[in-house]
Amino acid sequence: MSGRATATPPGPIEKSTDTAATHQSLAAARARLAARDDAILRAQITVAQIAAPTGEETERGAWIARRFRDCGLADAHVDEAGNVLARREGTYDAAPVVVCAHLDTVFPRDTDLSVRREGPRLVGPGINDNGRGLAVMLALAGEIDGVRLRPRCPIEFVATTGEEGIGVPTSVFNPALLSTRTVIVSLLPVWNR
């Protein structure tokens, strides 16, 4: 694959990481994300207003796939289970880190998905679970652009199906695939009532 890293890591990546230096080196990226909060909220509202009951995530998945491509991610595609996957290559050709958020909601297709503001809060079906996770995943995919911010390991960004239905996103978390991943980060909202 063109542009894919071929170097092997000098040793276990986790042993060569200086946490304080990494934290400091990411300060500019965190500042850019904070500055884009309004755009991230707009993406959150948009995705929350696309119906995606469990088993009917196709329209929301297509929107996410377009956004993955807009972020310049490689190989954006939908797998046989309806999960949307894309990849950002890293410095090393190593097992990827997976960042995921689920596509589906508990709301039936005919639910009014309008989002409104109540003071500083956004209120609407699915605005938090999991409109926020998907919007944050897209923001991270855009920020980790492979130029200003290039990961050491490849990163797979995955919008998963079936979380609300059976409680476990489909296909991405089967044992064969889990053994080929370094870390899996699942973006779920923190409930704040």
Q: Delimit the domains of the chain by residue range.
A: 19-186
Q: Edge to edge, what strands does the sheet with 97-102 contain? A: 74-78, 84-88, 155-160, 97-102, 183-186
For the 19-186 domain, the top CATH level (class) is: alpha beta
Question: Among residues of the chain, what percentage have pLDDT more than 90?
Answer: 56
Q: Is residue 171 left, alpha or beta, with left meaning phi > 0 and alpha meaning psi from -120 to 50?
A: left
CA distance 181 to 35: 31
Residue type, 78: V
> How many Å from the N-terminal Cα to the C-terminal Cα in the chain?
47
For 89-121, the pLDDT digits (tens) are 999 888 888 898 999 989 999 999 999 999 999
Structure-token match 């909060």, residue found = 37
pLDDT confidence tier of residue 166, bands split at 50, 70 and 90: low
Judged against a pLDDT cut of 80, whether residue 8 lies above it is answered with no
User: Which helix H or strand E contains 156, and what residues bound it?
Assistant: strand 155-160
Better pLDDT: 20 or 113: 113
C-alpha dist (Å) from residue 182 to 66, 133, 179: 26, 21, 8
Residue 61 CA neighbour count, 13 Å, CB half:
26
